[in-house]
Chains A and B, each alone.
Chain A
């Protein structure tokens, strides 16, 4: 064990529970899931001195229990490393019982029915983006399709100006990929300023968008406050602009590495939803944090009030106690029930939209591109952090 690890170990953490693991840098590798599967197998619960020191829950039963024990595993602070001032994101930073009240308008706005109504728009955009690159025989899928599609759909939904897409993506990257608390806070402030300006515009004049809908929502029988609007917008901004694009990249990367799977799905597109779900399980890519609200003993360790905890969801979905032969990608797997969208009250409210977008993109990619593979000259580049995502995904055909 390194000196850093030994020096920084708090007295309530047993030495054998310490693993020197930096979730920002150590996952910026070719195959972060291989690393996570191996790490989680040996250590379903561990403590790392990195990033201010925090716990990691990396097993299915541990995470399943933690996400529904919101009295101990609270969401009111989620920044690892801690930032001096954490801007509240609503409703992700709110615990039950108030959580349900704030979540309701989003459940409505992102309901399965409401999202189904966007299918045609999503498909038209997917077709446009894929057809644009088809003649070229090559594409950085992350930049050409995976980023613009969900981000455009989302910005339209929210009522954000599409000409700012590039700038917004920069802010999201700074907020999420940087482990530097100062840069993260700066980015959050910029997002906050931009969102506040738009909220003020909508206060003057409503448009047909989600910001306007939220302005007219009552919270517990009274009007939503300006601060609450900022909280909603910050969450939606972050959640909408860095998630689905990465989910899609995992699917396309896997397809590019498995031409036999492409052939199977082109012959039988009805199996695409199975492929989508198994991709989500095999390459679960988000790791939400929690903060300990009160001293607690569980999973063979002692949690102390104010300890930070990282929920390593990919560890849960690669847990051999839950899934037979977990690293095997199989459409016919009996148990495909993953928690890539998390579990418990904070289940991703965007999951219905995400699934529709991913399914449509896989359908159109398989329909419109011939057999494709990874560019042998330019391998995919991934980065770690709370969202384990793609910088680039070059494919050729």
Chain B
């Protein structure tokens, strides 16, 4: 499973880190410090939670074991 982040659009809500601190690290100003990462085995649900927590919707998941990634695709 992968997480892809539109880093330039981060405005620093810090919700991703609040719900999934082991996966989503912030820089000193409180903005996401990565463009994305491979999700360690066993942490898929946490990664998904973190992605869903972003009010800007800039965190995308690819390959969650449930088949339901975020954001939900339309249609």
Contacts and interface: CB of A to CB of B under 8 A. Distances in A.
B15 A108 contact: no
Contact of A113 (B11, B13, B28, B53): B28
Contact of A337 (B28, B31, B53): B53
B28 to A, nearest CB: 6
A341 interface: yes
B20 to A, nearest CB: 14
B41 interface: no
A343 B54 contact: no
A347 B15 CA distance: 12
Given A111-B29, A112-B26, A337-B53, A352 B14 contact: yes
Nearest to B18: A273
Interface string B12-45: 1111011000000010111100000000000000
Task: Say what secondary structure dominates the interface of chain A.
Answer: loop
B52 A112 contact: no
Main secondary structure of the interface of B (DSSP, over half): loop
A344 interface: yes
Contacts of A66: none
Contacts of B12: 107, 347, 349
A349 B12 CA distance: 8
B63 interface: no
A337 B30 contact: no
Interface string B46-66: 000000111110000000000
Given A337-B55, A338-B55, A107 B29 contact: yes
20 contacts: A104-B29, A107-B12, A107-B31, A108-B28, A108-B29, A111-B28, A111-B29, A111-B30, A112-B14, A112-B17, A112-B26, A112-B30, A113-B30, A338-B55, A341-B13, A343-B55, A347-B12, A347-B13, A351-B13, A352-B14
Interface of A: 104, 107-108, 111-113, 273, 335, 337-339, 341, 343-345, 347, 349, 351-352
Given A351-B13, A351-B14, A352-B14, 15 more contacts: A104-B29, A107-B29, A107-B30, A108-B28, A111-B30, A112-B26, A113-B30, A335-B52, A339-B55, A341-B13, A343-B11, A343-B56, A344-B56, A347-B13, A349-B12
